[in-house]
Amino acid sequence: MRTVVTRTAGMTTVRTAALALAVGTMGMAALRSVAAPTQKVKPTAAKPKPAGATFARDVKGLFDKECIACHGKDSAMAGLNLSKYKTEAQALADLGVLEKAMARVVAGEMPPGRKLPLAQRNALQAWTQNALAAQCRVSDPGRVTLRRLNRDEYNRTVRDLLGTTLRPADDFPADDVGNGFDNMGDVLTMSPLLMEKVLDSAEKLAREAVAIPRIFTRRFDGSDLEGGPKSELSGGSVVLMTSGVSGKTNNFTTGGTYRVRVQAFAQLAGPEAPKMEVSVDDKPIQTFTVFETKPKTFELTCTIPEGRHKVGVNFVNDFYNETTKADRNLGVASMEITGPVGEVTYPEVHKRIVPYQPAKGQEEATARKFISAFAAKAFRRPVTPQDLERLMPVWRAGFNGGSFDEGMRLAVQACLSSPRFLFRLEQDPPGTKTAVRSLDSYELASRLSYFLWSTMPDQELMDLAAKGQLVRPAVLRAQAKRMLADPRASALADNF
């Protein structure tokens, strides 16, 4: 397998070797048994025979008497040789050709110059209709083509799997269309460009889904603070002369408890000392009284969620004496923000995949549990021991080189890059000898869900599949009604 290298804005990123190896191995294993060209599977059951009219009397008898003279072995007019159909099996095997010929006889166009008696034409028509109906009942669909998720299905699936608002497939190459539909397996190929886009998408989605706590430390001089009336002093300090929040907006990649330190000093006037209010997004957190005329450090801790937030200070008790010109002001020398400290607050999307942090020494067992649960949702069926044996080395690579969460992020990325996620696999179980088999409960759940919702099965469908109940007609009908009443069923009309 080649090493995948992407270049963006002059930067070169070589994907993790463990991830590439795992995805490649999973891909080969998944595709080995399902990527064969579409081909007809020889049915094991005998084809039902048409009822009523008989081939020997009403078809072959008619051919021998009325048709062979012009459409025999030596005189096959219009390329039609009816003498070769000596048995009913031979006729049924070539029913498409015979149907057209018989339609002309039934319409009275053949034999030339005269119509056959109505009873003969009705018998011929009855045999043809019965034969066509019998072939429609043959339960041999042939080998089903491997179906890739199209762009719309991909976007909806990652939305329901991860809770993301991203639509990465909007940047994928346009899906090919067959007979006006963009969800036909025969035309949903995987080009090299699309594969690159898919791998980029998996990396981006995994980065959003699994938060990796980073220690955030920012220090600002007072002169760096934005907003509020102030005058700048030497050394980077500022004096806040009246009320108004002065602060700095930062991007906090991880939510949690942060430590804020402000070096402040007072310009005293009036009956009380300056009061300094520290805020987050203009919401007061704590108020300090500043007596010192030289910079002193004031410290507090506060909860700051993930995202962009403004941490600021506000001078809340301005004072000025017009007679004496005494002016109370608040000086700010610097602000420092550090965190998260203590327990980290993870976003909800992270908790879907990593509900809690493992106890020391339990990292691998916990990772196996979490990866198994996520992969089952991503692959839309239970994971096998072989699946986990391919995914766990990916997790170990991230864990040994970083942290538990880094390992989980790589494992999620591997799942989203796997053919078991990108394709709707319908693999024959090992040892299957019959040419035709029924869909299992999980395959049925996926077919129903992608038909009605254009997305992955929900938990109710997966629970019924796990119990083997979805194959029961009454249960299947009830689920179809439930799903059609769901707002997600709009996809059926939107994508038709």
pLDDT in tens, 290-333: 999 999 999 999 999 989 999 999 999 999 999 999 999 999 99
Same domain membership, residue 334 and residue 225: yes
Query: 432 and 417, same structural domain?
Result: yes
- Of 328, 345, 362, the position where a domain reaches its end is 345
Is the pLDDT reported for residue 24 higher than 70?
no
Q: Hey, what's the torsion of the CAs at 27, 28, 33, 38, to 10 degrees?
A: 70
Q: Are residues 165 and 109 in the same domain?
A: no
* Long-range contacts, 200-204 (Cβ 8 Å, 24+): 200/6, 200/168, 201/158, 201/168, 201/169, 201/171, 201/172, 201/416, 202/413, 202/414, 202/416, 202/417, 203/15, 203/413, 204/166, 204/168
**DSSP code of residue 234:** G
Q: Residue 287 pairs with which residues in a beta bridge? A: 277
Helix (H) or strand (E) holding 159: helix 151-162
- % of the chain with per-residue pLDDT over 90: 52
CA angle 190, 191, 192 (to 5 degrees): 120
Q: Residue 140's pLDDT is what?
A: 65
What band does 12 get if pLDDT is binned at 50, 70 and 90?
very low
**What stretch of H or E contains 332?**
strand 327-339
> Is residue 49 in a domain?
no
Contact 233, 264 (CB under 8 A): no
Q: Are residues 392 and 253 in the same domain?
A: no
Q: Is 423 helix (H, G, I), strand (E, B) or coil?
A: strand
Across 189-194, average pLDDT: 92
pTM strictly above 0.85: no
Burial of residue 317, with CB atoms counted within 10 A of its CB: 0-12 exposed, 13-18 middle, 19 or more buried: middle
**Do the domain assignments include residue 44?**
no
Say if residue 417 is in the same domain as residue 287: no
The residue that leads in pLDDT, 84 or 428, is: 84
Cβ–Cβ under 8 Å, residues 446 and 438: no
Domain boundary residue, one of 115, 136, 157: 136
pLDDT in tens, 208-239: 999 888 888 999 998 898 877 777 776 789 99
- Across 139-155, average pLDDT: 84
Identify whether residues 431 and 443 lie together within a single domain. no
Vertex 450: Cα angle to 382 and 455 (nearest 5): 75
pLDDT: is 393 or 244 the higher one? 393
354 plus 442 within the same structural domain = no
Pair 303, 421 in one domain? no
Q: What is the mean pLDDT of the chain?
A: 84
CA distances from 82 to 52, 94, 95, 127, 432 (A): 22, 11, 12, 16, 40
Q: Are residues 160 and 185 in the same domain?
A: yes
Residue with tokens 């891909």: 27
Q: What average pLDDT score do residues 199-209 get?
A: 96
Q: Count of CB atoms within 10 A of residue 421's CB? A: 26
pLDDT of residue 53: 78
The verdict on residue 25 lying in a domain is yes
Pairing mode, strands 296-304 and 255-267: antiparallel
**Considering only CA atoms, which of 353, 379, 386, 383 is closest in space to residue 22?**
386
Higher pLDDT, 144 or 488: 488
The rounded distance, in Å, linking the Cα atoms of 239 and 217 is: 24
Q: Which of 136, 162, 186 is the last residue of a domain?
A: 136
Contact 133, 158 (CB under 8 A): no
Span 133-159, average pLDDT: 83
Q: What is the pLDDT of residues 42-55, one digit of tens each?
A: 444 444 444 467 88
Q: Is residue 46 domain-resident?
A: no
Determine the pLDDT at residue 10. Answer: 35
Query: What letter would DSSP give residue 358?
Result: P
pLDDT-derived band at 139, boundaries 50, 70, 90: low
Q: What is the pLDDT of residue 317?
A: 93
CATH number of the domain that 294 lies in? 2.60.120.260
Q: Specify if 200 maps to a domain.
A: yes
Q: Is residue 47 part of a domain?
A: no
Structural domain span for residue 14 = 1-38+145-211+346-437
**How many domains does the chain divide into?**
4
**Is residue 485 pLDDT above 60, yes or no?**
yes
Residues 246, 327 within the same domain: yes
Q: How confident is the model at residue 246 (pLDDT cuts 50, 70, 90)?
A: confident
pLDDT of residue 48: 46
In one letter, which amino acid is 72? G
Let me know whether 322 and 247 are in one domain.
yes
**How far is the C-alpha of 238 from the C-alpha of 234, rounded, in Å?**
8
Examine residue 368 and state whether it is found in any structural domain, yes or no.
yes
Whether residues 331 and 358 fall in one domain: no
Give how far the C-alpha of residue 182 lies from the chain's centroid of Cα atoms, to the nearest Å. Answer: 17
On whether residue 374 sits in a domain, the answer given is yes
For 59-108, write each residue's pLDDT tens digit. 888 888 888 888 888 887 888 888 888 888 888 888 888 888 888 888 88
Residue 222 gets which letter from DSSP? G
